[in-house]
Structure 1
Amino acid sequence: MSPKLQGVFPTLRLLGVLSLLQCPSVLCDCDFPPEVAHGRHEEVIGFRVFIQNEVIYKCDEGYTLVGVAKLSCSSSHWTPAAPQCKALCPKPEIAHAKLSVNKDQYLQAANVTIQCDSGYELDGPQSITCLEDRTWYPGMPKCKWVVPESCEYVGKGRKIMQCLPNPADVKTALELYKYSLEIELLERQIEKAKKYTAESPQ
């Protein structure tokens, strides 16, 4: 053995002995670290370079870690229990509504109740839940304006605008609707005049 190798060999032997003393194979012979959905694990780099006995978990973007991030190999088991990567759902953006819990993000399984402002009614589910895929179940509701009874013509005009996306078509439809109202009013006046004539003494 060359003098250079003779100088290196004791150092390598010492490192091996120290590794075995610090973590004997009977205690640190663990299987592959547990897999975590929407996350990954990385080996902790330290003095114990010959044996993988510590890992740290990190979550994918849009998920947050729940539990202990670092696991160690002890008695052929990884301890403590593996953490979870829970979804973070974005805040529901619902116009003219108040949320029971107001946050920028909501943890998986969080439940939110929606209450519409005065003059608006809920169209859709009142309660929604944050799912693992970062969506809201059973869907995003809306708060729609309630047309007062005295404003029935406004409501009819609004329906026409929703059915006809082309502004020119909307204008034509509104003009026709206006004419139909004028005809309806004229017919009522005629009926009223006939009734008055019939009831008048000869």
Structure 2
Amino acid sequence: MAPKLQSTFPALCLLGVLTLLLCPSGLCDCRRFPSIVHGSHKDVSSFWSFTTVVQYECDEGYVLIGQPEITCRHSHWSAPAPVCKALCQRPKIKNGGLTVHKDQYAEAESVTVQCDDGYDVIGSRNLTCSEKRTWLPAVPRCKWEDPKSCEQVLAGKKIQQCLPNPEDVKMALEIYKLSMEIQHLHNSST
């Protein structure tokens, strides 16, 4: 540095010497930040600091796993870069649900589908949240299964156990009542 510049900027010259003493070339390379997939990073280091601080955040639809902020001093990072994992929304399953109740599930998280009483799973019971933010395999459905004991149900409590909802029970009882009236009329006319 020219003598005139040294007298004008003594602090800059001192800072340069200190930087070389504390962090000689080749020993301190904190300028290359670890990057992450489905996210971004920014340098939030203080201007006068000899430590590099990088802050991470994930794109929408992803969740950060790991430390959101890491530091580098003398070419050594305080921790590995975090990871952004996909989020899957809770699948809607008519007449069924999941064993773990949350609004969102992280990539690689698995759940088990359970159907309401009287319904059976059509498809795989076990689902896993994929990196594409979808469930694998495909979300199953719950299908009403007629128990064999319901084939000959005529009335009362058994009918409630065999039909999927109260409206069906009411209709079945009305039909049963009508069939009894028809049978009574038929017996009266003979």
TM-score by length of 2: 0.64
Percent identical across equivalent pairs?
A: 51
Partner SS state of residue 13, structure 2: helix
**Considering only CA atoms, is the larger Rg found in Structure 1 or Structure 2?**
1
Q: Could you give the per-residue CA deviations for residues 84-103 of structure 1, whole angstroms, max 9, x where no partner exists?
A: 11111111111111211000
Counterpart in the other structure of 1:48: 48
How much has 1:7 moved relative to structure 2? Answer: 7.8
Partner SS state of residue 28, structure 1: coil
Q: What aligned pairs does 1:173-188 form with structure 2 within 5 A after superposition?
A: none
Q: What is the root-mean-square deviation in Å for CA atoms of aligned residues? A: 2.9
Counterpart in the other structure of 1:32: 32
2:123–2:141 CA contact under 8 A, matched in 1: yes
**Larger helix proportion of the pair:** 1
User: Aligned partners of 1:46 and 1:75: how far apart in 2?
Assistant: 16
- Give unpaired runs (5+ residues) of structure 2: 153-190
1:79 maps to amino acid: S
How much has 1:78 moved relative to structure 2? Answer: 2.7
Counterpart in the other structure of 2:60: 61
User: Aligned partners of 1:8 and 1:140: how far apart in 2?
Assistant: 71
Partner SS state of residue 70, structure 2: strand
How much has 1:77 moved relative to structure 2? Answer: 3.3
How much has 1:20 moved relative to structure 2? Answer: 4.9
Counterpart in the other structure of 2:133: 134
Counterpart in the other structure of 2:12: 12
- Give unpaired runs (5+ residues) of structure 1: 152-202
2:132 maps to amino acid: D
TM-score by length of 1: 0.61
User: Aligned partners of 1:42 and 1:24: how far apart in 2?
Assistant: 24
Partner SS state of residue 58, structure 1: strand
Counterpart in the other structure of 1:88: 87
User: Aligned partners of 2:11 and 2:129: how far apart in 1?
Assistant: 56
What is the aligned residue count? 147
User: Aligned partners of 2:90 and 2:9: how far apart in 1?
Assistant: 61
2:62–2:86 CA contact under 8 A, matched in 1: yes
1:108–1:130 CA contact under 8 A, matched in 2: yes
